[in-house]
Amino acid sequence: MREAFHEQLDRIFRDLAAMCGDVETSVRLATEALLRGDAGIAERVISGDVDIDRTRENIEASAFLLLSLQQPVASDLRTVVAALRMVSDLERMGDLSVHVAKIARLRVPNVAVPAPMRPTIERMAEVAEEMVRRVSKVITDRDVEEALALAHADEEMDRLRRTTFAEMLSADWPHGVEAAIDVALLGRYYERIADHAVSVAHRVVFVVTGENPASVGA
């Protein structure tokens, strides 16, 4: 009975890692749509979010079934509850990539990002995508060290976010209010993707160690 339970639990974590892959693709395509001003790619991201939502529903159903049939306790219960929280974070990351795609679609045939801001937004997108990729590995390997290391990537994201504000609030910002709003929102979306990636990584640390990530990394 316990072997079957742990096999089902492992399957949930494999599904979470696969969901990370879908989210990573969504982030990558949303960025491509944004930087190219491509409505077709933006539509792919927006319509593809249905699949990410469906994956969340399936993972939740599997987790709730385990809870009802197996009534796990201690570390097993901790793992199932963490999985439910992780899937919520991952779905939200997919939603945020859709928000990026919607800004891209809104500005077609133009590009929402002013040319001087492009390197910063590109780097934010790269960091976000890389963090999602690393989270997939963290989930698959239950890798505490890699999970804790994600915080450093998040620090870079925070620095980039501050850079966007410094540019937009400068006295000589020449691109108007509309572009400023777009850049502010895009910065927020990429920053939140990174935040959710760190949240997922921290939940993996808690699953493995039973401790708060702050105390593990101390």
Q: How many domains does the chain have?
A: 1
| Structure token pair of residue 133 | 């990729």
Residue 137: Cβ within 10 Å count: 13
39-77 in b/e burial notation, b at 16+ Cβ within 10 A?
bebbebbbebbeebeebbeebbebbeebeeebebeeebe
53: CB partners within 8 A, 6+ apart: 91, 94
**212 touches 206 (CB < 8 A):** yes
- Tell me the whole-structure pTM to 2 decimals: 0.92
> Which domain range does residue 197 map to?
2-216
Distance CA 61, CA 36 (A): 38
pLDDT tens string, the chain, 218 residues long: the values are 567 777 888 899 999 999 999 999 999 999 999 999 999 999 999 999 999 999 999 999 999 988 887 776 777 888 888 999 999 999 999 999 999 999 999 999 999 999 999 999 999 999 999 999 999 999 999 999 999 998 888 899 999 999 998 888 887 889 899 999 999 999 999 999 999 999 999 999 998 988 877 655 44
CATH number assigned to the domain comprising residue 164? 1.20.58.220
pLDDT in tens, 75-102: 788 888 899 999 999 999 999 999 999 9
Give the chain's length.
218
